[in-house]
Amino acid sequence: MKAIRYHQVGGPEVLRWEDAPEPVPGPGQVLVRVHAAGVNFADTERRRGLYDAQAPLPRILGSEAAGVVREVGPGVDASWVGRRVVALTKQAYAEAALAPVGELLVLPPEVSFEEAAALLVQGLTAYHVVHTVGRVEAGQTVLIHAAAGGVGLLAVQLAKAAGARVIGTVSGEAKAKLARDVGADAIIRYDQEDVAASVRELTQGRGVERVLDSVGASTWQASLDALAPFGHLVSYGNASGHPPHVEVELLYAKSLTVGAYWLHTPTPPEVQRKAREALLAEVVAKRLRIVVGLTLPLSRAEEAHRQLEGRNTVGKVVLLGAD
């Protein structure tokens, strides 16, 4: 099969479209013909050797694949063959990828492969930072950084559905419009405004009950400053670099709490199943809008990484595989 692999860490140019051995499904696995693979910022960090750097090379990136089951492994019901599915995987930037049968989510006809490839990593992250860790409730005000990004757009919608008032931070008017279009109540242009000061103005000096922060180093202090007394900061990314160490004494004045979320934290199967099914149901009902901002052929993964790292994208970046 063809796949995108890299043989050494580095810039986007290390990604190669080349022949690779096609995987064979083992017990409890299926082989999926990949029609669409999701691209996530963590993929760029892995490629640069900043994250999960111990994995052997050459390596195929990609954590989510949508496509059609082509083959099943020992012990797997053969009726899976031919079904449209999406799943969390480990090597999705390829014409075919393995997935555990227990991770498969069957796609109804009204959900495209592109939408499905945008649903799991970013959708589950948004779901858990809003509900599981953030515990966003009706009547709260939530500040969401990078509100026009893949996770941000979904988190805006989920927080609004929970009854919260949402303030989003973005750079650029096009991103501001997109965040407003999916439900953000107010937008702060962090490239033009002081975030914490703008939050105080928008909340009559009180601050927000929740901050959802995927940016890290460059937003950390503003996130803490924007919180109301007893507020909670949820960190789930470090796009601008690792946030500083938490100085507990700096939290005392407003009795703040700081938490974190990582998609790979072991989650009870019933909780994860509920989250996956809830997200899919919302998409089918058209209550949750998935924004796919850039699609490129799988062979052009290098360009996808360049666009993502250059902050030139909105919503989800998707690589297209087989027709």
What is the edge-to-edge ordering of all strands in the sheet holding 257-260?
186-189, 165-170, 141-144, 208-213, 227-235, 257-260
Say yes or no: do domains 2-119+291-320 and 122-260 share a fold: no
Whose tokens are 């030139």? That residue is: 312
Taking only the tens place, the pLDDT of each residue in 107-136 is 999 999 999 999 999 999 999 999 999 999
What does each of the 323 residues of the chain score in pLDDT, given as a tens digit? 999 999 999 999 999 999 999 999 999 999 999 999 999 989 999 999 988 888 899 999 999 999 999 999 999 999 999 999 999 999 999 999 999 999 899 999 999 999 999 999 999 999 999 999 999 999 999 999 999 999 999 999 999 999 999 999 999 999 999 999 999 999 999 999 999 999 999 999 999 999 999 998 899 999 999 999 999 999 998 888 888 899 999 999 999 999 999 998 998 988 998 999 999 999 999 999 999 999 999 999 999 999 999 988 888 999 999 66
Within 8 A by CB and 6+ apart from 199, the residues are: 143, 167, 188, 207, 208, 225, 226
Q: Tell me the sheet residues that pair with 85.
A: 67, 106
Residue 82 has a pLDDT of: 98
Written as six digits, the tokens of 149 are 């990004």
Phi/psi for 48 (5° steps) reads: -85, -5
CATH for 122-260 (3.40.640.10, 3.30.379.10, 3.40.190.10, 3.40.50.720): 3.40.50.720
CATH for 2-119+291-320 (1.10.1040.10, 3.90.180.10, 3.40.50.720, 3.20.20.450): 3.90.180.10
- The Cα-based distances of 3 to 36, 227, 315, 317 in angstroms read 13, 45, 24, 17
Look at the pTM and tell me if it is higher than 0.75.
yes
Ordered by start, the domain boundaries in the chain are: 2-119+291-320, 122-260
The rounded distance, in Å, linking the Cα atoms of 82 and 107 is 12
Q: What is the gyration radius of the CA atoms in the chain, in angstroms?
A: 20
